[in-house]
Amino acid sequence: MTFFTQGCHAHCPGCHNPETWDFDGGYEFTNETLQSIIEALTANGIKRNLCIMGGEPLCPENQFLTLMIVNEIKEKLPDVKIYLWTGYTIEELLAKSPNFSKIQQILSKCEMIVDGRFEEDKRDITLFMRGSSN
Ligand code: SF4
Protein backbone atom coordinates (compact mmCIF):
# COMPACT_ATOMS: atom_id res chain seq x y z
CA MET A 1 0.00 0.00 0.00
CA THR A 2 1.48 3.34 -0.99
CA PHE A 3 0.54 6.77 0.30
CA PHE A 4 1.81 9.82 -1.60
CA THR A 5 2.12 13.07 0.32
CA GLN A 6 1.50 16.22 -1.71
CA GLY A 7 4.08 18.99 -2.11
CA CYS A 8 7.84 18.98 -2.61
CA HIS A 9 10.35 21.82 -2.72
CA ALA A 10 13.22 19.83 -4.27
CA HIS A 11 12.03 19.69 -7.92
CA CYS A 12 14.70 17.16 -8.90
CA PRO A 13 15.16 17.00 -12.70
CA GLY A 14 13.75 13.68 -13.89
CA CYS A 15 11.51 13.20 -10.83
CA HIS A 16 9.02 10.38 -11.42
CA ASN A 17 6.18 12.20 -9.64
CA PRO A 18 6.22 15.90 -10.60
CA GLU A 19 2.43 16.01 -10.15
CA THR A 20 3.12 15.78 -6.42
CA TRP A 21 5.22 18.98 -6.27
CA ASP A 22 2.34 21.45 -5.99
CA PHE A 23 1.39 22.10 -2.35
CA ASP A 24 -2.08 23.12 -3.56
CA GLY A 25 -2.64 19.86 -5.42
CA GLY A 26 -3.72 16.43 -4.30
CA TYR A 27 -6.81 15.51 -2.29
CA GLU A 28 -8.10 16.59 1.07
CA PHE A 29 -7.00 14.22 3.85
CA THR A 30 -9.88 13.27 6.13
CA ASN A 31 -10.66 10.69 8.81
CA GLU A 32 -12.13 8.60 5.98
CA THR A 33 -8.79 8.74 4.15
CA LEU A 34 -7.02 7.38 7.20
CA GLN A 35 -9.64 4.68 7.62
CA SER A 36 -9.26 3.70 3.96
CA ILE A 37 -5.49 3.30 4.44
CA ILE A 38 -6.06 1.03 7.43
CA GLU A 39 -8.64 -1.01 5.52
CA ALA A 40 -6.38 -1.31 2.47
CA LEU A 41 -3.52 -2.59 4.64
CA THR A 42 -5.69 -5.46 5.89
CA ALA A 43 -8.12 -6.09 3.00
CA ASN A 44 -9.07 -9.73 2.31
CA GLY A 45 -7.04 -10.89 5.28
CA ILE A 46 -3.78 -10.19 3.45
CA LYS A 47 -0.99 -8.60 5.47
CA ARG A 48 0.55 -5.61 3.70
CA ASN A 49 3.16 -2.99 4.49
CA LEU A 50 3.00 0.77 3.99
CA CYS A 51 5.16 2.88 1.68
CA ILE A 52 5.10 6.63 2.23
CA MET A 53 6.55 8.73 -0.59
CA GLY A 54 5.71 11.91 -2.41
CA GLY A 55 6.07 14.65 -2.79
CA GLU A 56 8.09 15.11 0.35
CA PRO A 57 6.74 13.43 3.51
CA LEU A 58 9.25 15.19 5.76
CA CYS A 59 9.10 18.83 4.60
CA PRO A 60 7.73 21.17 7.28
CA GLU A 61 4.33 21.37 5.56
CA ASN A 62 3.86 17.58 5.63
CA GLN A 63 5.48 16.54 8.91
CA PHE A 64 2.29 16.77 10.97
CA LEU A 65 0.31 14.58 8.56
CA THR A 66 3.12 12.04 8.15
CA LEU A 67 3.56 11.77 11.92
CA MET A 68 -0.16 11.33 12.43
CA ILE A 69 -0.27 8.53 9.83
CA VAL A 70 2.71 6.59 11.19
CA ASN A 71 1.44 6.92 14.76
CA GLU A 72 -2.03 5.68 13.81
CA ILE A 73 -0.71 2.78 11.76
CA LYS A 74 1.73 1.62 14.44
CA GLU A 75 -0.95 1.90 17.10
CA LYS A 76 -3.65 0.05 15.17
CA LEU A 77 -1.48 -2.32 13.10
CA PRO A 78 1.84 -2.68 14.94
CA ASP A 79 3.09 -5.48 12.65
CA VAL A 80 2.89 -3.30 9.54
CA LYS A 81 6.31 -2.23 8.32
CA ILE A 82 6.65 1.38 7.19
CA TYR A 83 9.01 2.35 4.37
CA LEU A 84 9.54 6.05 3.73
CA TRP A 85 11.18 7.90 0.83
CA THR A 86 12.52 11.41 1.41
CA GLY A 87 14.48 13.87 -0.71
CA TYR A 88 16.46 14.99 2.35
CA THR A 89 19.57 13.04 3.31
CA ILE A 90 19.55 11.43 6.71
CA GLU A 91 22.39 13.79 7.69
CA GLU A 92 20.27 16.82 6.75
CA LEU A 93 17.32 15.48 8.70
CA LEU A 94 19.25 14.70 11.86
CA ALA A 95 21.22 17.97 11.75
CA LYS A 96 18.05 20.05 12.00
CA SER A 97 15.95 17.74 14.17
CA PRO A 98 16.19 18.05 17.93
CA ASN A 99 15.29 15.03 20.03
CA PHE A 100 11.55 14.31 20.07
CA SER A 101 10.95 16.57 17.06
CA LYS A 102 8.33 15.41 14.57
CA ILE A 103 11.06 14.13 12.26
CA GLN A 104 12.73 12.11 15.03
CA GLN A 105 9.37 10.62 15.97
CA ILE A 106 8.57 9.73 12.36
CA LEU A 107 11.98 8.14 11.77
CA SER A 108 11.63 6.07 14.93
CA LYS A 109 8.44 4.48 13.54
CA CYS A 110 9.91 3.52 10.14
CA GLU A 111 11.59 0.21 9.35
CA MET A 112 13.42 1.67 6.35
CA ILE A 113 14.25 5.12 4.96
CA VAL A 114 15.39 5.78 1.39
CA ASP A 115 17.02 9.19 1.58
CA GLY A 116 18.35 11.86 -0.76
CA ARG A 117 17.20 13.57 -3.92
CA PHE A 118 16.81 11.80 -7.22
CA GLU A 119 19.96 12.54 -9.23
CA GLU A 120 19.31 12.04 -12.92
CA ASP A 121 22.96 11.46 -13.83
CA LYS A 122 22.99 8.59 -11.31
CA ARG A 123 19.71 7.05 -12.52
CA ASP A 124 19.81 3.25 -12.46
CA ILE A 125 16.64 1.19 -12.87
CA THR A 126 18.38 -1.97 -11.64
CA LEU A 127 18.71 -0.61 -8.08
CA PHE A 128 16.56 -2.00 -5.27
CA MET A 129 13.84 0.42 -4.09
CA ARG A 130 15.52 3.58 -5.34
CA GLY A 131 15.97 5.39 -8.62
CA SER A 132 19.50 6.79 -8.41
CA SER A 133 22.69 5.41 -6.92
CA ASN A 134 23.28 8.31 -4.49
S1 SF4 B 1 12.56 14.78 -3.64
FE2 SF4 B 1 11.42 13.07 -4.57
S3 SF4 B 1 9.36 13.90 -5.04
FE4 SF4 B 1 10.71 15.65 -4.63
S5 SF4 B 1 11.40 16.27 -6.68
FE6 SF4 B 1 12.97 14.88 -5.83
S7 SF4 B 1 12.40 12.85 -6.58
FE8 SF4 B 1 10.61 14.18 -6.87
- Residue whose CA lies nearest to ligand 1 atom number 3: 55
Residue 126: count other Cβ atoms within 10 Å of its Cβ: 5
Q: Which residue ranges have their beta carbon within 6 Å of ligand 1?
A: 8, 10-12, 15, 17, 20, 54-56, 87, 117-118
Structure confidence by residue, pLDDT tens digits, 66-101: 999 999 999 999 999 999 999 999 999 999 888 889
Ligand 1, atom 8: closest residue by C-alpha = 15
Strand partners, 83: 51, 112
Q: Identify residue 73 by its one-letter amino acid code.
A: I
pTM for the full predicted model:
0.95
Per-block mean pLDDT, blocks of 10 residues, the chain (134 long)? 97 96 97 97 95 96 97 97 97 88 96 97 96 96
Reference 13, options 122, 130, 93, 86; nearest CA is 122
Closest to 53 in 3D by CA, of 24, 80, 88, 91: 88
**DSSP label of 59:** S
